[in-house]
Each structure stands twice: as C-alpha cells, then as structure tokens.
Amino acid sequence: MMFPEARLYIDGKLRAAENGATYEDISPWTAAPIAKVADASVADMDEAIAAARRAFDTTDWPTNKALRREMVVKLGEKLRANRDRLAAYAHNEAGSALGTIAFPQVDGPLGFIDELLKMFDAIEWEKPMGERPAFGGMSQRTLVKEAAGVVGVITPWNVPFYINIGKVIPALLAGCTVIMKPAPDTPLLSTIFGEMAAEVGFPAGVLNVVTAADPVTLGEMLVTDKRVDLISFTGSATVGRRIMEKGAPTLKRLFLELGGKSALIVLEDLPNFAQAVCMGMVCYHAGQGCATLTRLLVPRSRYDEAVKILEAAYAGYQWGDPANPAHVMGPLISAKQRERVMAYIEAGKAEGARLIAGGNRATDKGPGFFVEPTFFVDVTNDMKIAREEIFGPVGVLIPFEDDEDAIRIANDSEYGLSGMVLSGDTERAMKIARRIRAGTIGVNFGASITVDLPFGGYKQSGIGKEWGMEGFDEYLETKAVAVGKFG
C-alpha cells in the first residue's frame, strides 16, 4: 500500500519542503516504503517558528477562548471522520497489530478530544484572591491563567496519535501556538493534523507540522530557539537530558515524558495467580510502551510456579498476523530498533539470565522487523536487562522475599513511571503502592492511565504531567494582578 505524499503545514499552508526534498516512510511489517514525506530544511523550520511566534504575538488566538474551542471542535470532527485512515496509518506506519488500534492507537485518543474540551470548559481562568493590606493600602488581588506561548511538540513513534492528541489539543485550547515535529518513522499520524487544520480553516501560524528524515537537527532548533517558549517532549531519557542541556541557555520551559522500567508486583495471596503472572508477558505492541510493566516480581515461594505458567503461556502465544484483529503484537518500528533489542537479548544471555521464550528474530513472519516474544528468568535486579529500558518484547522475572523486599526492588531503578501491585488483600496492596516511587500505580488491575488523570513520572522518567487538568497547566502561566485602593 502506498499513501499520498505527506506535506508540511506551515503558516496556514500545506506545501512541499524546500527544494522539494522527500524521504521514504517505511512499513515495519514489510520493510518497504508506504509513502513519500516532505523532508524539511532548517529554513522550513525557521519559517514555522516565525509563523507560530507571529500568530501568538499579533493575533487574538491567545485571548479568544471561543475561537480556540470552535477550531478544536472542528479539528476533532475532521479527525473522527478520518478514523479509518488513521487506523491504516497506525497499522502500516507504526506497525500496530489490529488489536491495538482501538486503544491506544486511534479510537481511544479520538474519544479523548471531547473529554479534553470538557476540562477546558472547567478551567478557572481568573481566581479572586480577595483584599489584603500591604505597603500602606489595600489591594484587590486576582490570579489570571494565560497561555505559555509558542510550544515545540516533539513526539515519538510508538503511539504517535495518542501522544499528539495529549499534547496538541491542550496546548491549542490553552491559547498556545504549536510547532509539531514528529519522529521520522511515523510522520503520517502527524501530518494529518495539518491537513485537517487546513480544511477547517485554522488561523495561519497557530498550528504547524514539520517533518524531516533527520531526527535531531530540527528538534534541536526548537529547543534552542529563543522564540520558542516551551518544549513538550515524549521519548527516551537520553534525549530528554540533551533537551535539558540544549534548552538551558534560553531557560526553556520543559515537559519531559521519558522512559520507564516499571514493576508488576504479584503477591502470594492472589487467588488468580496465573492470570496475574501472565500480565507480565511483554507482548502488547511488541513492548514498545514507556509505561509497559517489564519487570515481573513474584514471591520466591511461588517462583517455580510462575516460571511454569510463563513457559506455557509463551508456548501457545499467537502474534504477528497483520490481518488478525485479536493479535496485539506485530513488528518493531525499524531495523535499528530490532538490532537494539537483539543486543539487549544477547546481554541478558551473557549476564547469566535464562531464556524460557523467544530470543531470536522471527524470520517466519515476513520481511519486516520482527523479534520473537522473549522472556528471561533467573534475573537479578542489577542486570542490564532489569535496569535499562529495552522498548521491545523482552520481559524479566525477579523473585522477592517479602513485601519490604518487593518495594526495595521496585524502587531500585533510575526510572519511576508506572507500576502495578496485585494482592488478595487490597489494603496490603495499597500500602505497597503508596511506597512505590512512580507517577502512576495500578492496584488489583486498576487503570491508572486515563484521559482525566495526570500522567508523568518520578526520577529519570521525566518532568511534569500530561493529560488531566494538570496537563493543561503545563501550557499555562499564572499571573498575579493586584489593584490598589489608596486614600
């Protein structure tokens, strides 16, 4: 399948890149091109930044709430009308198995737009703080919420549409102007925003979409340019640290949603122990999720039982059929990512961990970037495969002695993004969950990642929150205004 050429959207116009440059968008399923994409230059990005700055500084977009709401409603309607096209992009471009299209790839985030609009309607733009005497007189005080400014949105390739919705919609509703720079691997799930914005008549410069084959240069332009007020980035901790470094000279305001090495703690008193252990299989979207539970922690007293459960579950696991709506695992995003994951598998073997499933390229699935669902046992928490984010279908099993030991192992990580605790005793599970240093924790299969809850991590999992009212706050400034009453 070949899709139409993807164009840039800059200053209200859909257009080719400077000098007509393009690059190929490669399908993870086939390793073959599925579209040509505009390959933007430094000059193209400079024009996008200038347009966003001009739209913020010289138009009423930052102050006209009714206009912003109207435009986002129209954008949402257009995106929903193109649901099947979005699903085709997610399947062919992001390598999503059909079982992941509903959530998180397409249908979930499409449904979130209306909920974000309701949150927007509930924002308290001005908060009276009452009178207070100071400096010989009385002052009537008010707190005012205002747009933060020009936002550079840098998005990843794993669930791009989900993250685009989570960043772009709140930023636009808050009154910011946006330059979106997607990962080179998944441009179509971003360029469609530009197409739909052009169709509904977005004001020029308010939203800009700039694609490029080079993953670094244009992103660093956004980070270092003093005309950009805020960077909203989702990706690896390594890149997040570089963004902090490069943004420091301009004191860039940052939202960073970075990596994770999250723990699933299964306690010995759980009635459905086998079901819980199988949650530790790292297969969904080939493990390409920052909040994926990649460390399975079980009591040593039931460790051998857990190994047998996992061996049986992996032996019968079905995956990798692009036409099967029940499958939730397909290929990795690229040849580069496949090689990275295979290097981690080799590291696990070298460290003495024992493979009970997978460990190889899945050449029987076709020419794409497939790696078998892989699981290691006899793992200690100091091993590389237990400490670093692999971002592939690789899970590890680690035993613990008691509740205190489980908490220690879960917290013995540079990351703190997500986690889950499962027990037959909810109070016991809650005591453990409260002591896990992570931004989102599920207890007994509870869903802690939803549109109305803030999402973000502790430690090297990032800075700030996305989704929920806290996600809007990332794109807002708070101004204190005091009116004096003297005499």
The CATH classification number of 8-258+462-481 equals: 3.40.605.10
Question: Are residues 362 and 371 in contact, defined by beta-carbon separation less than 8 angstroms?
Answer: yes
What fold, for 262-450? Aldehyde Dehydrogenase; Chain A, domain 2 (3.40.309)
Choose the catalytic residue: 176, 278, 283, 290.
290
Q: The tokens of 87 are what?
A: 């699903």
Helix, strand, coil shares, percent, the chain, to 5: 40, 25, 35
Domain ranges of the chain: 8-258+462-481, 262-450
Q: What is the pLDDT of residue 487?
A: 58
Distance CA 484, CA 487 (A): 10
- CA 189 vs CA 24, 49, 418: distances in Å: 15, 21, 26
Q: The tokens of 210 are what?
A: 């700039």
Distance CA 472, CA 77 (A): 21
Choose the catalytic residue: 257, 389, 466, 474.
257
pLDDT string in tens for the chain (487-residue length): 899 999 999 999 999 999 999 999 999 999 999 999 999 999 999 999 999 999 999 999 999 999 999 999 999 999 999 999 999 999 999 999 999 999 999 999 999 999 999 999 999 999 999 999 988 889 999 999 999 999 999 999 999 999 999 999 999 999 999 999 999 999 999 999 999 999 999 999 999 999 999 999 999 999 999 999 999 999 999 999 999 999 999 999 999 999 999 999 999 999 999 999 999 999 999 999 999 999 999 999 999 999 999 999 999 999 999 999 999 999 999 999 999 999 999 999 999 999 999 999 999 999 999 999 999 999 999 999 999 999 999 999 999 999 999 999 999 999 999 999 999 999 999 999 999 999 999 999 999 999 999 999 999 999 999 999 999 999 999 999 999 986 5
Closest CA to 400 of 384, 392, 411, 390: 411
Closest CA to 13 of 39, 63, 47: 47
pTM, whole model, 2 decimals? 0.97
- Active site (annotated) includes residue 93: no
Q: Are strands 458-459 and 415-416 parallel, antiparallel or unpaired?
A: antiparallel
Q: What is the pLDDT of residue 136?
A: 85
- Active site (annotated) includes residue 290: yes
